[in-house]
Amino acid sequence: MSEPITGITTPIRMEYRYTPGTATSQFLRAMKEGRFEGRRCPSCSKVYFPPRGGCSMCGVEFAETVPLQNTGTVATYTVVNVNFANRTVDLPYIVAEVVFDGADVTTALLLKGVAPDEVRQGMRVEAKWIPEEEWDFSLTNISHVEPLDEPDAPFESYKDAI
Amino acid sequence: MTEEVLSAPHVMEFPYTRSTGPVVGAFLTGLRDQKVLGYKASDGRVVCPPPEFDAASNAPVDAAGLVEVGPEGVVTSWSWNPLPRNGNPFDRPFAWALVKLDGADSSMLHALDADRDSISTGMRVRVRWAEERVGFINDIACFEPA
């Protein structure tokens, strides 16, 4: 009771209602059902995954929905060695930018099953889903990606994604 | 494509911890002990809440020289808040008021718990202390009619 006050906690809290828009809503509905869905640009034919409402390069609205595979290629990656608040994965860990088969843009996901000094561009990987009963409207249905026992993809196959 | 868009709560929170420094720390310590402290400035005015620097001389304020003011005072201005938000002192409509505590020459902002029709500039009010005081501005629960 007699100690002088030297510090206070002043939490800043913002409560939003987030609406992701029609394209992301469709993507998240597919995720909830365990499917990957991208969207194709009618102008440049690039497939965005996760999809957006329109093509950022052509400025046109997407129309076509494209089912995608669970497999893909590591286009690039980063090894995280630096600690930070609320970290949930042990250091060091790898974040890979994955081009899923059938897509033309990358998705950032946790890469497990390979040592940080052995990860490389072109690695073939597969998405690992959390248990079906835990699926939600969320990209976190994918817990991580893991290497496939396949030869590395040639640079030409993913160069446009980086 | 015509399906309804999804929506979900999205909460962002930053739990900042701040060091209070000698003057604000003394002010908050005072609140915890049911005392409102002000600063007698070099021009003779008493300022509450106390500043960290003297507005007239620019000298750092010495927390040892703080003086007690209140706990009653007068409303110098007020504003009705019909839509309280999370974190507000009340979950029902209430007034924000500038209160010049007795012995002070400046006003402090806080909630005023009074019927809207009874509030007027110049009305006398007093501090209503929070039952549990921790050294925070909310140790003053609000002002109420004196």
Report which DSSP code applies to B4. Answer: P
Q: Closest chain B residue to A29 measured between Cα atoms? A: B6
Render pLDDT for A114-126 as a digit per residue (tens, 0 to 9).
999 999 999 999 9
Nearest to A26 among B3, B11, B136 (CB): B3
Q: What single-letter amino acid sits at B5?
A: V
Instruction: Indicate if the pLDDT at residue A152 is higher than 90.
Output: yes
Residue B114's CB is within 10 A of a number of other CB atoms, namely 20
pLDDT of residue B31: 95
Residue A99 bridge partners (DSSP): A73
Residue A22 gets which letter from DSSP? H
Left (φ > 0), alpha (ψ -120 to 50) or beta: where does A135 sit?
Answer: beta
Strands (E), chain B: 8-19, 36-40, 46-47, 66-69, 72-81, 94-101, 108-112, 124-129, 140-145
Closest CA to A101 of A119, A126, A78, A77: A126
Judged by a CB distance cut-off of 8 A, whether residue A10 touches chain B is: yes
Residue in B113, B114, B116, B109 with CA at minimum distance from that of residue B80? B116
Are B25 and A5 within 8 A, CB to CB?
yes
Total residues belonging to chain A: 162
Interface test with B, best of A1, A3, A6, A61 (most B CBs within 10 A): A6
Cβ atoms within 10 Å of A95's Cβ, excluding its own: 16
Contact assignment for A19 to B4 by CB distance below 8 Å: no
Distance from CA of B129 to the nearest CA of A (A): 16
Mean pLDDT score, A16-43:
92
Q: What is the pLDDT of residues B95-142, one digit of tens each?
A: 999 999 999 999 999 999 999 999 999 999 999 999 999 999 999 999
A85 interfaces chain B, CB cutoff of 8 Å: no
Judging contacts by C-beta atoms under 8 Å, the chain B residues touching residue A1 are 32-33
Is the Cβ of A140 closer than 8 Å to some Cβ of chain B? no
pLDDT at position B70, please?
86
Which residue is closest to A21 within chain B, CA to CA?
A: B5
Percent of chain A with pLDDT over 70: 99
> Would the pLDDT of B18 be above 80?
yes
pLDDT reading at A103 higher than 70 = yes
Contact B19 A10 (CB under 8 A): no
Query: What global pTM score does this model have?
Result: 0.63
Please report residues of B whose CB lies closer than 8 A to that of A14: 11-13
Indicate the SS3 state at residue B117. helix
- Phi and psi of A134, rounded to 5°? -100, 0
Task: State how far the alpha carbon of B142 is from the alpha carbons of B75, B121, B129, in Å.
Answer: 13, 17, 7
Nearest Cα of chain A lies from the Cα of B83 at a distance, in angstroms, of 16
User: 């590591």: which residue's tokens?
Assistant: A74
Average pLDDT, chain A: 93
* Residue in B46, B23, B142 with CA at minimum distance from that of residue B103: B46
CA gap B141, B143 in Å, rounded: 7
Angle at B46 between CA B40 and CA B47, to 5 degrees: 105
- CB-side neighbour CA atoms (13 Å) of B77: 5
Q: What would the two tokens of residue A72 be?
A: 């893909």
pLDDT at B64: 86
Alpha helices in chain A (DSSP H): 21-32
B49-91: pLDDT as tens digits = 999 999 889 999 988 889 999 899 999 999 999 999 888 899 9
Shortest distance, CA B121 to any CA of chain A (angstroms): 31
What's the mean pLDDT in A44-62? 91
Tokens coding B92? 């029902």
Distance CA B61, CA B55 (A): 10
Alpha carbon B7 to its chain centroid, in Å, reads: 36
Ramachandran class of B2: left when φ > 0, alpha when ψ lies in -120 to 50, beta otherwise? alpha
Nearest to B5 among A7, A12, A22 (CB): A22
pLDDT class of B1 with cuts at 50, 70, 90? very low
Cβ–Cβ under 8 Å, residues A51 and A27: yes
